[in-house]
Structure 1
């Protein structure tokens, strides 16, 4: 089929998409694309264009596209039974729960499976508020925890919070963004001390008990921002004195993506593990899976019946077990650390004025873009996204102002692919910089002013 014909079909599909889906359902690119298949770290669109995938369906294709072990496990399970619900025993669900409980680092852990990160965070909030008999929740500024009514109510990012209505009373805490805000000028130690003092002050003014603090170790949608390592350990010491639970939202940071640790909370481990941990995205490698890990005392606190129709289904647990096994056997956490360092080094070496900061850990890298005045530049981020796609690279974007590129390839990324992708991204940044950070045109020189006429004189 001619490329022009395929392009016309994609435009028609976009029109149909807009006609039957909500106006607020965002798509990337001026001319959105349809991804039809993938292999390894690459995907293809309906026009036959091949891309190096540095976003993995929003950090969800964690290991690789079409990973043979996962596709085989899913196909074999689909040939037996696809669905049963939690009303029936499931060997796969129990085996996966056992592995995740052990990996979580939470003592006496139990696991509840959901179908998404939103639902996982929703369940964690239900558990925490029921356990503490309080609907007051602490959350971080610039945070994102999902799109449900409850999780929108604890999202500290106005770009993703369409309503102020909520079943929860949310109090927002400092510390999610290290390089901006009132404490940005402080050293790491003083930053942690100031944020902790602010937390103590906040709790001293709250009436009634607080259920929990929910926090992403690295804020995903917020632009891969974070406080210094040890921040949440300092917070946890305060929370423990008040009996407040700590929920670590590991939907994006889990499974070794940060390279340094298997979970993001482990960068703050000196105060011990969180009380609850939520996960999703990468564990299913594209299958719809999420869940909550919690101490048994917390997990068992509900005094009403509950089930999950789709959580922990036979087909998703089969794929997740194969995916997790592959990740652990091939040390993809170590690979994320090594290849992530390649990406960061090459992006920093480019020395582009449009880039204010390159941050993150492992294969979770944020590139913050600014204009000539040093202010956030969503225009530069949008232009870079477009140019990257034209060059054959898919990336994401986020941040409160929409000016941060989000770079998060599958964890099996090779060193050669890291070099290739970094070079493509640098070229896309150069093109965007030329468009959005053009040097100011100097004003035309003006003729010297004529001497003033003596008082009382007239022009000739």
Structure 2
């Protein structure tokens, strides 16, 4: 599977700290280097094997070293790696046709980018140009990327290093169901209250608003979401005002939630969004993102615009193979089935452990809200020691994020749940001992 390096993790970390930014976060008290993977497993530079329940932040969507994707990338690499959008690309057209059809957006156009951040940046450029307004609605606790523009619509203060922004952002309720002023309400009452909040915010806007951007399930926010139908209720208000709806599917897309191919479809009673952004999983590790929009919205730009790296021959070749594998093997159904089993296990584990406040999410996008941030750090470390990689999130850093590749087997789900059970017990023992 590969060779173990002679340089230790500690030695590499020291070099890392000497040359990379202080704000570049790494997991674990003693960060690790992942050198290779296969299926749902990865290995580090010191030879340890891990079951991967995070997929490089929800990016390894199908599997590590998936033969079909590796073959497509290898074949394309032997031909040409790069041309830019100044030239026609058969792979880019093929992929755009597939995604336009899958998006559910009528008369759709697709623009490829290199990341989810860039995709959201582009969506905001389109919406603000189309509506001739820099006012944007976003959900509280949101995260949409790390560019200057994307930070301006990030409602999660833990990931927003500056208050400066080219946008005037108005934040509305609805991203978090279990906390805040509406948490005590029923789902129907919650939606009604959030819609009233949206109407109130629009009454305070200075002129017309360009768009509402929302993650159907908030990723960095800790896999939180409002009730199904909330965004559809929002869309009824948006449509009356001519405001565009941007759905950020960077983490929720491609069937990960199990019940739907796109996260917006849980809220789709009022029809598809005006703009959809995607990234992460479609490339299965390759740098791939993009925007889907109605033709009149996509074509609103009048100045010259190209992309040097977006939709390159090699990334689109890999993405086409990855998407074909996902569809051929109905990985959405696997996410629903195996994700449902995993969630049931996590609910049973959590019912017996006071360190867990809430089990969240759907499909293979599951979260655990813990009693405090220190608990999340303890579980993260203990899970790694047990051979399991998971993620962390939430504005206070008090949530665990669980998002394995969509080929996860039942046996692997059980194995991961067992490791998490042990890690959660260890965290509660340490926290309980401290309280005592």
Give 1:347 deviation, angstroms. Answer: 1.3
Give the match's secondary structure for 1:234.
helix
Write out the 4+ residue segments of structure 1 that deviate beyond 4 Å after TM superposition: 3-6
Give the match's secondary structure for 1:192.
helix
Moved more, 166-175 or 341-350: 341-350
Residues 55, 409 of structure 1: 8 Å contact kept? yes
Structure 1 counterpart of 2:284: 285
In structure 2, how many angstroms separate the alpha carbons of the residues matched to 1:310 and 1:71? 20
Give 1:63 deviation, angstroms. Answer: 0.2
Structure 1 counterpart of 2:348: 349
1:426 to 421, 426, 431: 421
Structure 1 counterpart of 2:15: 16
Q: Deviations over 1:140-167 (max 9, x none)?
A: 0000000000000000000000000000
Paired residue total: 432
Q: How is 1:267-282 mapped onto 2 (pairs within 5 angstroms)? A: 267-282=266-281
Give the match's secondary structure for 1:425.
helix
Give 1:440 deviation, angstroms. Answer: 4.3
Q: How is 1:27-426 mapped onto 2 (pairs within 5 angstroms)? A: 27-350=26-349, 351-370=352-371, 377-426=372-421
- From the superposition, tell whether residues 436 and 76 of structure 1 become closer, same or farther in structure 2 (CA, over 3 Å): same
Q: Deviations over 1:329-372 (max 9, x none)?
A: 001000001111111111111221100001101000010100xx
Give 1:222 deviation, angstroms. Answer: 0.1
Q: Deviations over 1:420-460 (max 9, x none)?
A: 1111111111111111233744xxxxxxxxxxxxxxxxxxx
- From the superposition, tell whether residues 48 and 138 of structure 1 become closer, same or farther in structure 2 (CA, over 3 Å): same
In structure 1, how many angstroms separate the alpha carbons of the residues matched to 2:246 and 2:5? 50
TM (norm. structure 1) is 0.93
In structure 2, how many angstroms separate the alpha carbons of the residues matched to 1:401 and 1:91? 45
Q: Which runs of 5+ in 2 are unaligned?
A: none
In structure 1, how many angstroms separate the alpha carbons of the residues matched to 2:300 and 2:252? 27
Q: Deviations over 1:161-216 (max 9, x none)?
A: 00000000000000000000000000000000000011011101211110000000
Give the match's secondary structure for 2:35.
strand
Moved more, 399-408 or 344-353: 344-353
Residues 354, 437 of structure 1: 8 Å contact kept? no
Give 1:10 deviation, angstroms. Answer: 1.6
Give the match's secondary structure for 1:353.
coil
In structure 2, how many angstroms separate the alpha carbons of the residues matched to 1:405 and 1:67? 26
Residues 339, 415 of structure 1: 8 Å contact kept? yes
Root-mean-square deviation (Å): 1.2
Residues 8, 46 of structure 2: 8 Å contact kept? no
From the CA coordinates, give the structure whose radius of gyration is larger. Answer: 1
- From the superposition, tell whether residues 183 and 299 of structure 1 become closer, same or farther in structure 2 (CA, over 3 Å): same
In structure 2, how many angstroms separate the alpha carbons of the residues matched to 1:18 and 1:254? 34
Give the match's secondary structure for 1:397.
strand
